Structure 1
Amino acid sequence: MITLTQPPVSTVLEQLFADADASRALMHRQMAALSSAERDALMASARSEDYQGFYRHAKEFHLAVSRQTGALLYMYARMTKAHSIIEFGTSFGVSTLHLAAALRDNGGGLLITTEFESSKVAAARRTIAAAGLGDLVEVREGDALETLASGLPEHVDLVLLDGAKALYPAVCSLLEPRLRAGSVLVADNADWSPEYLEIVRSSGRYFSQGLADDVEVSIKL
């Protein structure tokens, strides 16, 4: 049996994806009203007042991974036999459910996920509980540079980066000492973080490949 495609996980995910589709249309209309410079400031700035302001403004938006990316996350977690996963950017929990379902099917483990916006933390916890995956997930509230600075497992098998894009390099640096050879990093909307792409593509510490939907997949060497 595949947990991802069975109730209650599949039922909860279908509702989340429907909500995310509606949310995405509204967000695209609001983003289209901004200039390119304003969009860059919102999406690519590493200043805490900028990215925190953006995520407060976007607290009603799901900012979810696509169905295809969700399926890939489940597959990568299964293929690597992951038991220890870190997620940067919980939002309402779409990607969280895919990863936690993989942990269930791998025989157990822990997913540590972190989210800045408190209302989303509360919603994600309800979602995870409704899907029956609460025993596999620890949701941390706050800025990831603080919530992921301590209390991590000795080894991390898989990382999902899907929070503030400008923080991808800093979050990667926090987690890198925990990554083993063969650990997988998946970065959504990676083109918004050229510094991160430079690290995974040119540092010699990773083998990395961009996929459709602006997803970068990297393996720790």
Structure 2
Amino acid sequence: MTFSHTLSDPRVETALTRMFELAEQDDAAMARAAAQLPGGLIPLTPRLTPQEYADAAAEIYMPVSAAGGRLLYSLVRAVRPATVVEFGTSFGISTLHLAAAVRDNGAGHVVTTELSEEKTAAARRTFTETGLDDVITVLRGDARETLAEIEGPVGLVLLDGWKDLCLPVLRLLEPHLPPGALVVADDVDQEALRPYLEYVRDRSHGYESVTFPVEDGMEISTRL
């Protein structure tokens, strides 16, 4: 029996290896970005707009871990969602894992959104180079606006943009989440994600939630 495994495609492997290597320079890039902003890069403050933060962070990859990427791939393969939504494309590491799973499922589409113009352009080039651009739609702009245009059921959501905005983005998407839909949030150790975690861990809001111990932790929540 022949198995389709797009993560093993040389084009995808090469792109992921390159981006993970570049992401190892994130600490230096984050220090440069923080030096440009009053109060540093994180958390977001009302003094600057999300666009200004995105522009300052244009060099920073902020990727999921390699293990987190494989987990995302496996979840998409298992759930087989018709539509995957990602908040926070960055340079496209997590997007490639999601899209590879969609490709191997033989159906589905990934809709991802990014505020940085530089990152959006770089990600689109990578998606074309890897041959996955036909299963990915990149929306450039504020996710609270771009994702307002989503139609139809969303089977899996990845929230990996600014942590302060994960809860507003989830609330925006909730009308499109059928029972059984999965919502995954990365970096549960970050204090800025606390309001989101409190929300999805409260069953009265309609989720069964569990923390998966991969790198900085992923919160996996099932829509009830």
Could you state the TM-score of these two structures normalised by the residue count of structure 2?
Answer: 0.88
The answer to whether the aligner puts 1:74 opposite 2:77 as a matched pair is: no
Change (3 A) 1:112 1:46: farther
1:184-212: per-residue Cα shift (whole Å, max 9, x none)?
11111233221111110014310111223
Match in the other structure for 1:197: 197
Conserved in 2, the CA contact under 8 Å of 1:84 and 1:153?
Answer: no
Query: RMSD of aligned C-alpha atoms?
Result: 2.1
1:161 pairs, out of 138, 159, 167, with 159
Q: Could you tell me how far apart the structure 1 residues matched to 2:49 and 2:84 are?
A: 27
Deviation at 1:153, TM superposition (A): 3.2
Specify every segment of 5 or more residues in structure 2 that has no aligned partner in the other structure, as ranges: none
Q: Indicate the SS of the match to 2:139.
A: strand
Between Structure 1 and Structure 2, the one with more helix by share is 1
Contact 1:166 1:193 (C-alpha < 8 Å) held by counterparts: yes
> Distance between the aligned counterparts of 1:28 and 1:164, measured in 2?
14
Deviations 1:103-142 (A, max 9, x none): 0011121111000000111000000001100110000000
Residue identity in the other structure for 1:195: P
Q: Letter of the 2:193 partner, please give it.
A: S
CA–CA distance in 2 between the matches of 1:178 and 1:12?
32
Q: Provide the rounded CA distance (Å) in 2 between the counterparts of 1:125 and 1:60.
A: 16
Partner of residue 18, structure 1: 21
Report the TM-score when normalising by structure 1. 0.89
1:8 aligned counterpart, secondary structure: helix
Say which SS state the counterpart of residue 137 (structure 2) adopts: strand
In 2, Cα distance between equivalents of 1:179 and 1:220: 7
Consecutive unaligned residues in structure 1, runs of 5 or more: none
Q: Is 2:173 the partner of 1:175?
A: yes
Q: 2:153·2:177 contact (CA, 8 Å) conserved in 1?
A: yes
8 Å contact 2:156–2:182 — kept in the other structure? Answer: yes
Equivalences, count: 215
Q: Report the AA paired with residue 12 of structure 1.
A: A
Q: Is the 8 A contact 1:82 1:106 kept in 2?
A: no
Q: Which amino acid counterpart does residue 103 of structure 2 have in structure 1?
A: R
Q: Would you say the 8 A contact 2:182–2:221 is kept in 1?
A: yes
Q: Tell me how far apart the structure 1 counterparts of residues 78 and 13 of structure 2 sit (CA, whole Å).
A: 20
